[in-house]
Amino acid sequence: MSRLTTKHRCAELGFGIRRDLWGQGLATEAARLIVDFGFQALGLHRVTAGHHPDNRASARVLHRLGMTREGRLRESLLAHGRWRDSIIYSVLEHEWTSEATEEHLQ
């Protein structure tokens, strides 16, 4: 998790996978374990994640985790000298169960 706010029990999830390992389900499985750890061991209430609007693979990972798309942050990140938007997702502790996310994996 890239950012943890203990007062509000929130964390931000980020991930990156080498291109030659794409399409093997590694990001989904790793992210599922991390989010589960956040809720079970750290007592989080909310986990958020974002992706570039053109990154459909990351959108699928977040959907498989059972995350809800919350919206688009306009020009929220400066990357390679250009401002870019982010699509934001979240999942709340009462929405999270490992079994529920297994349904999204199929």
Domains, the chain, in order of start with CATH, read 3-105 (3.40.630.30)
Rounded Cα gap, residues 54 and 37, in angstroms:
29
- pLDDT, position 88: 98
In contact, 59 and 23? CB cutoff 8 Å: no
pTM: 0.83
Q: Per-residue pLDDT tens for 70-88?
A: 999 999 999 999 999 999 9
Rounded Cα gap, residues 88 and 48, in angstroms:
7
Rounded Cα gap, residues 3 and 12, in angstroms:
5
101 pLDDT above the threshold of 70: no
In contact, 13 and 48? CB cutoff 8 Å: yes
